[in-house]
Amino acid sequence: MISALIISAIISYLLGSLNFGIIISKSLNKDDVRSHGSGNAGSTNMLRNYGKKYAVMTIIGDMLKVAVAIFISFIIVRKLGNISLAENSDALIYGINARMFTKSFAGLFCVLGHIFPCFFGFKGGKGVATAGGMVFMIDWRIALILLAIFAIIVFITKYVSLGSLAMAVFYPVFIFVFFTPNNSIALLTATFSLLATNCKPTSFPAAPSTLAIVPVPSDAIATFKSATLPPL
């Protein structure tokens, strides 16, 4: 089982390192999205710099890669670990439902690969779309609820980072609501993936550290000195 998990972790990480924001910006625009805006290689920065089409392409790619990672991990665990991952299976991995554990485990390393991609100097995106794809694979009901929370917060505050943080906070809450305590403990390992999406600086505007001093032309000073105030 250990060998199966190691291989699964490596493959999931490598798939996560295929950062589609970077790939799309370099292949279609001959540019690197990380050199603009927030410096992140995610869909938000793609939207700001290249438009909706490229942002949607990035979201789809970043979500699909985690689905592929989980699918491959299922095959590896079944073949090398000799464990059933059927829907109604009672198989356990380290005392945790094998199906849920495999999804969480593969999703975690895929998100880490997205944030720290080995193919692009370990500088990627925040992993929001990839983590979202992982949650969809775990339970589509939770994914839709979190998506609604994200949309409402972004609509009200205009801050994508705040919406991402809200999803990370509410994710473990809904895990406990929809799953048994045993499975909840397993899936909480995947919460690290969502929390990791907020480990980078947010897009909140920073306050200026110093005041800019603007020089005043000498002729303007002379004009001011020669001016007389009107009588009160």
What residues form DSSP beta bridges with 61? none
List, in order, residues 6 or more apart from 176 with CB less than 8 Å away: 184
CA distances from 198 to 19, 115, 126, 217 (A): 17, 10, 7, 47
| The predicted structure's pLDDT at residue 87 | 72
| The predicted structure's pLDDT at residue 213 | 45
Look up residue 123 and give its amino acid. Answer: K
| The predicted structure's pLDDT at residue 183 | 62
Give pTM, 2 decimals.
0.74
| The predicted structure's pLDDT at residue 172 | 78
All structural domains of the chain with their residue ranges: 2-201
Q: What is the pLDDT along the chain (232 residues), one digit of tens a residue?
A: 788 888 999 999 999 999 998 898 888 878 888 888 777 787 888 888 888 888 899 999 999 999 999 999 999 988 887 777 777 777 777 777 778 888 888 988 998 899 899 998 888 888 888 888 888 888 888 889 988 998 898 888 878 778 878 887 788 788 777 776 656 555 555 555 455 544 444 443 333 334 344 454 555 445 544 545 455 4
Written as six digits, the tokens of 8 are: 């699964």
| The predicted structure's pLDDT at residue 9 | 92
